């Protein structure tokens, strides 16, 4: 951040995380997704340089999105009197752009997914859940 902006970088440590900050009026030029108004009311798309990074390394993006707006849950269903339980992941966001970014990243790594609601992605197939378990891990 200091190299890009030429400004001082600060940080505040908390339990389990740290907040790093740097004030610079040109951050929106690098990250145009950040802007005025609600994120689900404006287009959210990756810039070319961001898309190149996601194309090369999709798992860190998937991990970050699940850790911020997702969860792993045990789905319990009863079919013809027989009870089944299986793990699945959910990712919910009101922004169609963010949902599309997540869907594209999941497609890139071969993880099967579907929309279970207009604002939510469900990952329930055994192989897909196993891949997320391996690469995402428990929520922190």
Side-chain-side CA neighbours of 41 within 13 Å: the count stands at 4
**Helix or strand or coil: residue 87?**
strand
Q: Note the pLDDT tens digit of each residue in 35-82.
A: 677 667 677 888 898 999 999 999 999 999 999 999 999 999 999 999
Q: Name the token pair of 83.
A: 């009870």
Q: What is the pLDDT of residue 140?
A: 65
Global pTM reads 0.78
Q: What is the pLDDT of residue 16?
A: 79
Q: Is the pLDDT of residue 7 over 70?
A: yes
Q: What is the pLDDT of residue 15?
A: 84
- What domains can be seen in the chain, in order of their start residue? 1-30 (no CATH), 37-135 (3.10.28.10)
18 phi and psi angles, rounded to 5 deg: -145, 150
Q: What is the pLDDT of residue 88?
A: 95
Note whether 30 and 5 are within 8 A (CB). Answer: no
Note whether 5 and 21 are within 8 A (CB). Answer: no
Q: What is the pLDDT of residue 112?
A: 98
Q: Quickly state the pLDDT bin for 18 (edges 50, 70, 90).
A: confident
Q: Note the pLDDT tens digit of each residue in 73-124.
A: 999 999 999 999 999 999 999 999 999 999 999 999 999 999 999 999 999 9
């Amino acid at each position: 951040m200091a190299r890009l902006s030429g400004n001082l970088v600060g940080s505040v440590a908390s339990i389990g995380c740290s907040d790093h900050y740097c004030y610079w009026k040109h951050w929106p030029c690098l990250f145009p997704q950040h802007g005025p108004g609600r994120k689900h009311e404006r287009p959210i798309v990756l810039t070319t340089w961001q898309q190149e990074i996601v194309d090369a390394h999709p798992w860190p993006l998937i991990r970050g999105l699940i850790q911020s707006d997702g969860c792993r849950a045990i789905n319990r269903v009863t079919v013809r009197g027989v009870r089944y339980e299986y793990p699945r992941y959910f990712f919910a966001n009101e922004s169609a752009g963010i949902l599309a970014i997540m869907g594209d990243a999941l497609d890139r790594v071969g993880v099967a997914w579907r929309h279970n609601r207009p604002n939510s992605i469900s990952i329930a197939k055994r192989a897909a859940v196993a891949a997320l378990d391996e690469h995402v891990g428990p929520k922190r």
